[in-house]
Amino acid sequence: MSTSHFTRWVAATALVISGASVARSEQGLIVHKALSLDMAMAMTQGSLAKCRELHYKCAITVLDATGRTIIALQDDGANLHRFDVARKKAYTALVYRRPSKEVVEGWSKKTAEPVPLLEGTMPNPPIEGTIDMGGGIPIIVDQETIGAIAVSGAPGWEMDEACAKAGLAKVADKLR
């Protein structure tokens, strides 16, 4: 092979390799929806307004898809532990991609019946950071879980969940 043929061959090979790596990097790009701080604040304010309307002193947490806290607050007079519990409820809903109440119901079924471990049932040991309490709701857009919201402090899981849903209702038009 002459020097000029060899040079062209090397150049062509380099072009093919660089083209292939560009294609691979483009194929590896992941595009996803994410909650903005403004959306998280609107959700939190909607939940807080519902809690106050019903005279509940609660804590509210909104997590992003990776489990990081976007915003967390505790209303005046809320019990000390509410802040931590709200985060754990949100994390449980995020990890299992379903309301934390449904996760607890799955865990309860698992402990009551000798069946194999199924998705949504209590792992042994439990996933660190999760809690067996209702009140956390995953935030799902186009079948993608983009975060979670949770409330702690209302009298019962159903009311915690109702307050969390009031927050989601504030941004429902933007979650499409």
DSSP letters, 111-150, are HHS-----TTS--SSPPTT--S-S-EEEEEETTEEEEEEE
Check residue 31 and give its pLDDT. 85
Check residue 118 and give its pLDDT. 57
CA distance 149 to 161: 9
pLDDT, tens digit, for every residue of 43-79? 999 999 999 999 999 999 999 999 999 999 999 999 9
The segments of the chain whose pLDDT lies below 70 read: 1-26, 110-125
Type of residue numbered 9:
W
> In this structure, what are the phi and psi dihedrals at residue 3, rounded to the nearest 5 degrees?
-60, -40
CA distance 9 to 11: 5
Q: Is the peptide bond before 123 cis (omega within 30 degrees of 0)?
A: no
What does pTM read for this prediction? Answer: 0.78
